[in-house]
């Protein structure tokens, strides 16, 4: 028979709406106070907050630049609240706010000042969901989106984003929630940066592969002319007739990729080509130190 948990912590499923003001730390003290006051009035004025508060089904967690609302009702409650907030914020264009929603375990605790507080994975993940967005975004965890997509009236609002990397290298699957009136339809900056990085890696891989193939073909041709058939000289045509090439220099290759970190690979290719050509006994290869001056 399993033993009783020693911690005594009681968790419940909370439907969390995490909110913060974008660029809050760059504001002066007066601006911070003013924007926080406006946000408080907007949030407290929503029907969902009033209803949950009246039923003692709402927990609030202030965070300095925003806060978390934990609804102990239905998964739709934080979504409906976010919609109300988004519509009301259109009257306050100077107040950039982003929101993240997740349903997960939460528990009430007491902090060092013996004040009531809220903790749990539900809070942590909701914050990470929010952190992946920009001003105006309402982002949902895949878990919340799955709860909503069973209902026809929510489907037009749900727009798949894919995975976003958060703290400690973890990835979470997100959905952007918007229509013509609420939310932000633009791709979040973190997703743009991730896709640009992936595209850059793809371009670099393509350039690298093409370079390797070209190097292989060149080496194959040289070995064929000088290694496999030594009686047939490698020649260079002139007006006076062909003459045998007795020495060759490999000039430093250039990095044409968008990634400066590939410079080490380009230098390695130059060294590799120089070394391989030097194995041909009757061909003199100019040293790398002598050709470095021609780089660029």
The per-residue DSSP string of 7-25 comes to S----EEEEEEEEEETTGG
Are 205 and 157 within one domain? Answer: no
Strand, helix or coil at 110?
strand
Top-confidence residue, 222 or 87: 87
pLDDT of 17 > 60? The answer is yes
* pLDDT at position 114: 58
Answer yes or no: is 7 within a domain: no
DSSP-derived letter for residue 251 is P
Are 89 and 223 within one domain? Answer: no
Answer yes or no: is 154 within a domain: yes
Answer yes or no: is 101 within a domain: yes
Instruction: Read off the pLDDT of residues 188-203 as tens digits, 9 standing for 90 and up.
Output: 998 887 566 655 555 5
Count CA atoms within 13 Å of residue 122 on its CB side.
25
| Structural domain span for residue 263 | 198-294
Q: Which residues contact 46 (CB under 8 A, 6 or more apart)?
A: 81, 84, 85, 88
Are 157 and 224 within one domain? Answer: no
Are 33 and 179 within one domain? Answer: yes
Answer yes or no: is 3 within a domain: no
CA 210-213-215 angle, 5° bins: 110
Are 34 and 127 within one domain? Answer: yes
Instruction: Read off the pLDDT of residues 275-287 as tens digits, 9 standing for 90 and up.
Output: 777 777 677 887 7
Are 216 and 274 within one domain? Answer: yes
Q: Which residues contact 11 (CB under 8 A, 6 or more apart)?
A: 105, 106, 107, 120
Are 98 and 230 within one domain? Answer: no
Which domain CATH number covers 97? Answer: 3.30.70.1230
pLDDT band for position 226 (50/70/90)? Answer: low
Instruction: Return the structure tokens found at 120.
Output: 């749990």
**Rounded Cα distance, 143 and 147, in Å:** 7
**Rounded Cα distance, 86 and 182, in Å:** 6
Are 83 and 57 within one domain? Answer: yes
Instruction: Return the structure tokens found at 192.
Output: 């743009």
Are 150 and 274 within one domain? Answer: no
Are 168 and 257 within one domain? Answer: no
pLDDT of 184 > 60? The answer is yes
Domains in the chain: how many in total?
2
pLDDT, average across residues 28-43: 94
Are 145 and 266 within one domain? Answer: no
pLDDT of 10 > 90? The answer is no
Q: What is the 3-state secondary structure (H, E, C) of 148-207?
A: HCCCHHHHHHEEEEEEEECHHHCEEEEEEECCCCCCCCCCCHHHHHHHHHHHHHHHHHHH
pLDDT, average across residues 114-129: 84
* Domain boundary pick from 168, 187, 206: 187
Answer yes or no: is 204 within a domain: yes
Answer yes or no: is 51 within a domain: yes
């Amino acid at each position: 028979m399993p033993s009783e948990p020693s911690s005594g912590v009681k968790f419940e499923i909370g439907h969390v709406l995490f909110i913060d003001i974008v660029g809050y730390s760059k504001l002066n003290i007066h601006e911070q106070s003013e924007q926080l006051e406006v946000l408080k009035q907007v949030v407290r004025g929503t029907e969902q907050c009033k209803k949950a508060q009246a039923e003692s089904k709402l927990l609030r967690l202030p965070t300095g630049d925003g806060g978390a609302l934990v609804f102990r009702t239905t998964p739709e409650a934080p979504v409906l609240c976010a919609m109300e907030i988004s519509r009301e914020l259109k009257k306050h264009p100077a107040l950039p706010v982003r929101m993240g929603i997740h349903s997960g375990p939460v528990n009430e605790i007491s902090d060092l000042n013996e004040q009531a507080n809220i903790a749990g994975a539900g809070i942590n993940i909701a914050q990470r969901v929010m952190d992946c967005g920009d001003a105006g975004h309402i982002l949902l965890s895949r878990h919340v989106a799955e709860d909503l997509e069973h209902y026809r009236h929510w489907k037009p609002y749900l727009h798949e984003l894919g995975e976003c990397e958060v703290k400690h290298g973890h990835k979470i699957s997100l959905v952007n929630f918007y229509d013509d009136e609420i939310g932000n339809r633009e791709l979040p900056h973190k997703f743009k940066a991730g896709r640009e990085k992936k595209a850059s890696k793809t371009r670099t891989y393509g350039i690298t592969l093409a370079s390797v193939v070209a190097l292989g073909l060149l080496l194959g041709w040289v070995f064929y002319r000088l290694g496999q058939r030594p009686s047939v000289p490698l020649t260079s045509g002139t007006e006076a007739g062909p003459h045998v090439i007795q020495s060759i220099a490999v000039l430093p290759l250039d990095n044409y990729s968008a990634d400066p970190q590939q410079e080490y690979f380009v230098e390695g290719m130059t060294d590799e080509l120089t070394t391989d050509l030097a194995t041909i006994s009757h061909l003199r290869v100019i040293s790398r130190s002598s050709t470095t001056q021609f780089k660029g």
